[in-house]
Amino acid sequence: MRIAVAQMDCRFDQPQHNLQRARALLDTERADLWVLPELFSSGYLFSEREQLERMAEPLDGTIVSTLSEWARARGCAIAAGWPERAGDHFYNSAVLVGPRGVLAHYRKIHLFDRETLWFQGGDLPFPVVEYGGARLGLMICFDWRFPEAARTLAFRGADVILHPSNLVLPWCPEAMRIRCLENLVFAATCDRVGSEERGGHALRFIGQSQVVDPGGNVLGRLAEEEGVLAVDIDPTQARSKQATAHNDLWADLRPRSYAQHPGD
Ligand code: ACM
């Protein structure tokens, strides 16, 4: 399976530009599976609800149907993030589409910082779906900070974690190596680059999009500029949880020995 991440500079409130830019990057490589950034169609730094009301779209809106069209035309799957409108609620969502339409839909559970002002916390389970002989899971950006997110996807059978992101903190790329190692899964993090300044707040996005294997090895990592990274992986490598001759990570779990959750 050839997996590619399209790291781009998303312009705030310019969905047509962002769609064109994403499509141009998709046209530079052939891949079975693509990952685009979190909120790729809208940009990130919302400062008023009205902006979200203007840019958010439902699952059956133009953004997701355009992604589905691209997937059908290319015979591939595409994961991407967009601001979702669902009735009166807004979610920081991601979708995985294939040639026949939507395969998986996820609403970011662990919202980062000021996202909590605009978005509802996700109310859908972490999804894992079969596509092209692989089991694909979805999480979004700051979900990396909670090992439970990747763990849950791995417990549900994910071979590859697709991870649309808008990273502003430096630790995620290295942390995702550990998420892969502790769960023996692949992960493809697609970040964005560029900066946004609005409403008295400024953010710079770190790039560093990457694909990591179940050994925690970085198969490829971009710098802080627009571009595509494509690598060939065998997703079935993630099916064995054998860490040494005498350690199967799932069989060795000892849930009765672990501390209770602080909220219990
Ligand atoms: C983030 O979750 N976008 C940092």
Q: What is the pLDDT of residues 78-123, one digit of tens each?
A: 999 999 999 999 999 999 999 999 999 999 999 999 999 999 999 9
In angstroms, how far is CA 190 from the centroid of its own chain?
6
In angstroms, how far is CA 13 from the centroid of its own chain?
21
Query: Residue 264 above 70 pLDDT?
Result: no
Pick the atom of ligand 1 nearest to 108's CA. 2
- Closest CA relative to residue 143, chosen from 250, 38, 6, 26: 38
Q: What is the distance in A from the centroid of ligand 1 to the CA of 101?
A: 26
Q: What is the distance in A from the centroid of ligand 1 to the CA of 241?
A: 29
The arithmetic mean of pLDDT across residues 55-73, rounded, is: 98
**Proportion of the chain above pLDDT 90, given as a percent:** 97
The arithmetic mean of pLDDT across residues 236-261, rounded, is: 94
Name the average pLDDT for the chain: 97
Within 10 Å of residue 237's Cβ, how many Cβ atoms?
A: 14
The arithmetic mean of pLDDT across residues 228-232, rounded, is: 98
Residue 43 pLDDT: 98
- 261: confidence class by pLDDT, cuts 50, 70, 90: confident
CA 247, CA 236: separation in Å to the nearest integer?
A: 19
Q: Is the CB of 142 under 6 A from ligand 1?
A: yes
Name the region of 109 (left: φ>0; alpha: ψ -120 to 50; beta: rest): alpha
The arithmetic mean of pLDDT across residues 26-45, rounded, is: 98
Q: Are 75 and 110 in contact (CB under 8 A)?
A: no
**Proportion of the chain above pLDDT 70, given as a percent:** 99
Q: Which of 141, 172, 180, 190 is catalytic?
A: 141
Give the CA distances from residue 165 to residues 17, 34, 110, 210, 236, in Å, rounded to whole numbers and listed in that order: 19, 13, 12, 11, 25
Name the region of 83 (left: φ>0; alpha: ψ -120 to 50; beta: rest): beta
Look up 141 and say whether it is catalytic. Answer: yes
Q: What is the DSSP letter of 120?
A: P
Q: What is the distance in A from the centroid of ligand 1 to the CA of 165?
A: 6
The two three-digit tokens of residue 45, written as one number: 């730094």
Q: For residue 261, report the phi and psi dihedrals to the nearest 5 degrees.
A: -60, 140
Query: Residue 262 above 90 pLDDT?
Result: no
Strands 195-198 and 201-204: antiparallel
DSSP string covering 7-59: EEEPPTT-HHHHHHHHHHHHTT---SEEE--TTTTT-S---SHHHHHHH-B-T
